Structure 1
Amino acid sequence: MGQSIVQDRDLNEYSPSSSSTSEHLPCSHQLCELGPNCKSPKESCPYTVNYYSENTSTSGLLVQDVLHLSSGSNGGSNHSVKAPIILGCGMKQSGGYLDGVAPDGLIGLGIGEISVPSILAKAGLVRNSFSMCFDEDDSGRIFFGDQGPVSQKNTPFLPLNGKYETYIVGVEACCIGNSCLKQSDFNALVDSGASFTFLPNAVYERIADEFDRRVNATRASSEGYPWKYCYKSSMKEKPKVPSLTLVFPLNNTFVVHDPVFLIYGMEGVAAFCLAIQPADGDIGTIGHNFMTGYRMVFDRENLKLGWSHSNCQGLEDGQSMPLSPNGRPPNPLPTNEQQSSSQGHAVAPAVAGRAPTSASAAPREVMTPYFGLLRLLLPLLLLHLPAHHHHIVDSLTC
């Protein structure tokens, strides 16, 4: 599992001892959740994360190091900043990690204080928002501080158990072609770390049945793949399939560009599958495949999700984005005093490498409920984000 991840990249394990800017986080630090369990406040802060996938976990020590960010401006001067962040240096891994999941590590994007966007915003470097996109070739970009163009569509984030601790949205209806299905409303976690999409079982059955009724293709065996609805294809290119649209409040529509997974043979596309799976419970997961072709904006400042068409080549509105407000130097890691980030702007790390496209890349296998993560390929960033949690620990194998 995971063998197809970044096959065209050389992966290097992060080593704090090889980094001139790394420092172990002491147990006395306010962001050390396990600090009360330490024998001494000067000890290195430990962490443990147990994932949704059975027997998958990581534990180790928290480390402070520097993330190098560059300006999101397309035509402006080339400014950069060294932003201190906190990450977990994994010393003991189990489950999916041993099968090759996330060989390049994980970096947090959740709402909690220890996640990268939270630290950057609290330090006054950027607005409390970020965007990401996936192009059709599986490359992508992430822009910290980006709140998206004025023309984008948006929908509010919803609280979970009375708290805004993850990226949940409400879908009012699902449409296949020109047919919007009755009783197809559901809430979903927006999660680019899930390679594919999961819908509550009743909604899944309605969508799959309507898709199957409308698709002009013969059913094929799905053995070896996680999807039930697969079809034969004799085309060299991507076959035509019924459109899939999500309808959000105020009739904000989201057309899914890539609802199918293509299976290639010697002469092109041999088959394709509806890349949706049923999920237990009443909360679905909108995964990476549904986000293809969009600039997805996670606006934590205004508690809303935004989207607009994007080819991932940059910010379409072309605004110049200085790295720190009014040219001021960045603040250090956050203290107990909340610092204003209202004047921050967007910054971008390196362009992402390829995200996994294989069915074996485990869409649900590396998920923790409400745990926000972004794969980190040193020195490049890979856009891959499992669900979000209010306590985030970035994790690298050390």
Structure 2
Amino acid sequence: MLAVICFGFRVIVYDVLLFLQATIIDRDLNEYSPSASSTSKHLSCSHRLCDLGTSCQNPKQPCPYTMDYYTENTSSSGLLVEDILHLISGGDNALKNSVQASVIIGCGMKQSGGYLDGVAPDGLIGLGLGEISVPSLLAKAGLIRNSFSMCFDKDDSGRIFFGDQGPATQQSTSFLASNGKYITYIIGVETCCIGSSCLKQTSFKAIVDSGSSFTFLPKEVYETIAAEFDRQVNDTITSFEGYPWKCCYKSSSQRLPKLPSVKLMFPQNNSFVVNNPVFVIYGTQGVTGFCLAIQPVDGDIGTIGQNFMTGYRVVFDRENLKLGWSHSNCQDLNDGTKSPLTPGPGTPSNPLPANQEQSSPGGHAVGPAVAGRAPSKPSTASTQLISSRSSSLKVLPFLLLLRLLVSAS
């Protein structure tokens, strides 16, 4: 299993086969600069992965990209760059066991909106189904199974495990097609339960989006859930200035009270109990309140964000087109399925697909959300972070602003 990476300020890398913790840990992350990397090179306009190549005046020019998000006035544009992703095992032979893989980086030259207010300061990594995303490139190079998992811990750190298909004991549900194509990670929820009450007419479809900090549900489903949640909570409902959630409460003590569980039910009696359904608001003396961290949206497709995934190892099995989940604290991931696809001794860097190679199935990559963590004291910037929603219904063809674990010298 190739392995991984990092959220927040912690970088953890694991061995291809043995899942051994690497020596690179608590390393400061910096913005990626092609000029500081000895292995970077521009993707040319003539490359088959350059979607905007037809707009170039010269096929040898660097390939441009442009990205517009649903978040108001938020965009990024720049050039696509090829560079090396390093995956290194721990122990005395770490460097001898290193694996290198070519990935594509969107180097932003002009940003607007949320990016100027601190959104995604370390960049966004493309994990979609399109062939230009990181897991697609790693799988096509024969380094991993076509799957990856993510784990979000309660301290806002996390890990990605490329090639992981999860434990045999995990629960799962199938991905759903959109207009006959699998272009993003859509699942179907049959019923929502609050405490012991499973609610009628709460079925919905949702995009599972690790790039969205919080969760959004279709308006009618949200209203039914919020009403039942409110019925089971004893604290006084209120509002907190600067926070977007409608279902908020003033805490009667300085600690978070016992709250009703939030559970999603799937076909074949599979269930997903949300470990982190509320956003806690702290004051100088402790907890001052909390909000049901879900927002309503128009339409019939919601977004399952990072807050719902906290405490789970979530598997995006693209090979079998299903989502898997199992409880995890992100420190106990030693039982992962070992991938049989491993590079031989002395394997060199894996090149990107050549121009003449055929496109792999799965459509284009889906754009990541503008993600962020809401602070205890909101500002204009933090309100944008909390309110931003995934642009995942829009087809976006590239990996944007990867600033993590690229070679530099």
TM-score normalized with structure 2 length: 0.82
Counterpart in 1 of 2:101? 83
Which region of structure 1 is more displaced relative to structure 2, 79-88 or 18-27?
A: 79-88
Q: Give the Cα–Cα distance (whole angstroms) in 2 for the partners of residues 87 and 242 of structure 1.
A: 43
Please list every run of 5 or more consecutive structure 2 residues that lacks an aligned counterpart in the other structure: 1-7, 11-25, 361-370, 404-409
1:42 maps to 2:44: no
Counterpart in 2 of 1:142? 160
1:369 maps to 2:392: yes
Q: Give the Cα–Cα distance (whole angstroms) in 2 for the partners of residues 82 and 135 of structure 1.
A: 27
Q: Does the Cα contact within 8 Å between 1:80 and 1:323 map onto a contact in 2?
A: no
Which region of structure 1 is more displaced relative to structure 2, 92-101 or 122-131?
A: 92-101
Q: Give the Cα–Cα distance (whole angstroms) in 2 for the partners of residues 124 and 76 of structure 1.
A: 26
> Secondary structure of 2:161's match?
strand
Partner AA of 1:302 in structure 2: N
Q: Give the Cα–Cα distance (whole angstroms) in 1 for the partners of residues 247 and 161 of structure 2.
A: 36
How do 1:35-184 and structure 2 match up within 5 A? 35-71=53-89, 78=94, 79-184=97-202
Flag the 1:314–1:328 CA change in 2: closer, same or farther, 3 A.
farther
277, 280, 292: which is aligned to 1:259? 277
1:303 maps to 2:321: yes
Q: Report how many residues are paired.
A: 361
Post-superposition Cα deviations, 1:107-144, rounded to whole Å, max 9, x if no partner, equal 20000011000000000111110000111111110000
Task: After TM superposition, give the deviation of residue 212 of structure 1 in Å.
Answer: 0.1
More strand by percentage: 1
Query: Higher relative contact order by CA 8 Å / sep ≥ 6: 1 or 2?
Result: 1
Partner AA of 1:276 in structure 2: I
Flag the 1:32–1:147 CA change in 2: closer, same or farther, 3 A.
same
Flag the 1:292–1:309 CA change in 2: closer, same or farther, 3 A.
same
Q: Give the Cα–Cα distance (whole angstroms) in 1 for the partners of residues 39 and 221 of structure 2.
A: 49
Please list every run of 5 or more consecutive structure 1 residues that lacks an aligned counterpart in the other structure: 341-353, 372-388
> Alignment identity in percent?
67
Flag the 1:338–1:40 CA change in 2: closer, same or farther, 3 A.
closer
Q: Does the Cα contact within 8 Å between 1:222 and 1:228 map onto a contact in 2?
A: no
Partner AA of 1:282 in structure 2: D
Q: Does the Cα contact within 8 Å between 1:110 and 1:390 map onto a contact in 2?
A: no
Counterpart in 2 of 1:28? 46
Flag the 1:158–1:240 CA change in 2: closer, same or farther, 3 A.
same
356, 359, 365: which is aligned to 2:373? 356
Flag the 1:128–1:248 CA change in 2: closer, same or farther, 3 A.
same
Counterpart in 2 of 1:282? 300
Counterpart in 2 of 1:206? 224
Task: After TM superposition, give the deviation of residue 237 of structure 1 in Å.
Answer: 3.4
Task: After TM superposition, give the deviation of residue 267 of structure 1 in Å.
Answer: 1.6
Task: After TM superposition, give the deviation of residue 366 of structure 1 in Å.
Answer: 5.8
313, 332, 335: which is aligned to 2:351? 332
Q: Does the Cα contact within 8 Å between 1:125 and 1:325 map onto a contact in 2?
A: yes
Task: After TM superposition, give the deviation of residue 391 of structure 1 in Å.
Answer: 2.0
